[in-house]
Amino acid sequence: MHIKTILTQTYHDQNPGTSGLRKKVSVFKQVNYLENFVQAIFDSLENYQGKALVIGGDGRHFNREAIQIIIKIAAANGFGELIIGQNGLLSTPAASHIIRKYGAFGGLILSASHNPAGEHGDFGIKYNVTNGGPAPEKDTLAFFERSKTLEHYQIAEFPDINLDTIGTQTVDGVKITIIDSVADYAELMQSIFDFSLLKQSIQSGYMTLAFDAMSAITGPYAKYIFVDMLGAPLNALQNAQPLEDFGGHHPDPNLIYAHELADLMFSDDAPTFGAASDGDGDRNMIMGKGIFVTPSDSLAILAANATLIPGYANGLKGVARSMPTSQAVDRVAKKLNIPCYETPTGWKFFGNLLDADKITLCGEESFGTGSQHVREKDGLWAVLFWLNLVARRRQSVLDIVEEHWQTYGRDIYSRHDYEAVESSIAQEIMSSLREQIQTLPHQTFGDYTVKYADEFCYHDSIDGSTSANQGFRVGFENGSRIVFRLSGTGTVGATLRIYIERFEPDSNKHNQDPQIALAQLIELAEQFCRVKERTGLTEPTVIT
């Protein structure tokens, strides 16, 4: 193998967040920018020589070119086998499964998840470890530190690899296998859910569905599973062809960006069930005829009904939710007498609990749900879980949700996102909140008396690590909460997320519009952070 050592300039902005390094495509196309970061990752790892690396991405612009670069750097650095999705495509949950199934050392996933794609859009790369989950913080910090001192990288010289033909070849002693992007994942889903029941329910016409892949990665997965395996008509799928620019969609599955699906599900012609996924396939939006299921409620309902699913028939070890996620699943865990863990946002925290066999299901309010089957959130898994519930319970989504509220009460919940906030203003908001939390406890604001106010800090019981500065919580005597947090998933400015939650035990009040039911808390949130006043924005960018 002919290996070249390339001298390079150092970049000082390659600090990966909770979901890897995300920048504009134009940034990644800078001279040696991607090469530097990949070399920094490999320089920070140990004992991988001769072992397998999984590579794949969501198909966005620059995906194929990036994979060719990674192949050659991985070969030069001593990986013995590269396992790559056909056409360079792998959904994030599929990549996690493949790392685990084939015993790979780790994997590189090329995605900016729910961020827009295209030549002027975003690109991203993250490293997943042997358990299939995102690299822990100690690793991502090591990648960043190495990137700041990197002076050269190594790259092998050989022709580009054909990514489109399934099969195995050996190039200069490195085994390169192009695999079917979908087959292994579909087999895993079939081992968890009752595909016979699903197929009968769909083909009989009892259950109709609409699934929007948003022109991103899950189109081929949805076609193979829903159409080819379960017999749904092809027109049940919307935007099922992956495109480099995601067809101009903002691939974030919520009521704003998946409005075509939302309009359908609230129309007279709505099918039984509707769902959408995001750019890399790890998020989900669940809808039924005339209802949108919040991700917080979805997690709680899946936990409450898990034993109806073949893969979870023996019950749950425990559940976990991110701190901003509503407390709905806590109430289910209490009734089931199982542990419920509250973690920071970021799937790696769930990964520790899953590896330690402390939990079975987990989820975040940001449209991510998952379980022990992989170490990432999994959009299609959640869709199949819901379809299996509808088919097994022989109830509509609306009936299932309302019955759940009658049993456990409703956590009325909403998230207000203020996107692309100037970074200095965002930091000013957080500094102001940090000052206020000292004085807020025991103060009364209208119907709400503050019980506690703090900055969330998580002590990981599995690896002993501490994660501080995870967002501000304001809790009230009646169980309501307001949470403020800056998101690390954008590439322009900062995104301020405000989470508002009120518990309502009275079933006569369960069908209130959340924005009306939460009006006082929404006003309080603005009073505390003054985001509208500071930014000049008159309303949130996105409300979910």
Name residues whose C-beta falls within 8 Å of residue 430's C-beta, 6 or more positions apart in sequence: 472, 484, 486
In angstroms, rounded to a whole number, what is the distance separating the alpha carbons of residues 158 and 36? Answer: 19
- HEC letters along 408-448: HCEEEEEEEEEEEECHHHHHHHHHHHHHHCCCCCCCEECCE
Three-state SS at 6: strand
Element (H, E) at 379: helix 379-393
| CA-wise closest residue to 410 among 521, 522, 513 | 513
Q: What backbone torsions phi and psi does residue 534 show, to the nearest 5 degrees? A: -75, -30
Instruction: Pull the structure tokens for residue 65.
Output: 């070119």
Element (H, E) at 324: none
| CA-wise closest residue to 317 among 261, 360, 352, 377 | 360
In angstroms, rounded to a whole number, what is the distance separating the alpha carbons of residues 273 and 125? Answer: 33
Asked about 113 being catalytic, the answer comes back as: yes
Catalytic residue selected from 19, 96, 111, 113: 113
In angstroms, rounded to a whole number, what is the distance separating the alpha carbons of residues 73 and 417? Answer: 39
In angstroms, rounded to a whole number, what is the distance separating the alpha carbons of residues 193 and 367? Answer: 21
Give yes or no for a contact between 146 and 40, defined as CB atoms under 8 angstroms apart: yes
In angstroms, rounded to a whole number, what is the distance separating the alpha carbons of residues 489 and 128? Answer: 17
Extended beta strands in 150-279, E state? 152-156, 167-171, 174-179, 209-212, 237-238, 273-277
For residue 101, which amino acid is it? K
Block residue for tokens 């990986």: 79
Burial profile 191-228: b = 16 or more Cβ within 10 angstroms, e = fewer: ebbbbeebeebbeeeebbbbbbbbbbbbbbbbbbbbbe
Give the Cα-Cα-Cα angle 321, 290, 278 (nearest 5 degrees). Answer: 45
Name residues whose C-beta falls within 8 Å of residue 206's C-beta, 6 or more positions apart in sequence: 272, 391, 394
Burial profile 135-144: b = 16 or more Cβ within 10 angstroms, e = fewer: bbbebbebbb
Could you give the C-alpha distances from 83 to 68, 178, 213, 334, 508, in angstroms and in order? Answer: 13, 6, 25, 43, 55
Element (H, E) at 451: strand 448-455
Block residue for tokens 């330690």: 356
Give me the active site residues, please.
Answer: 113
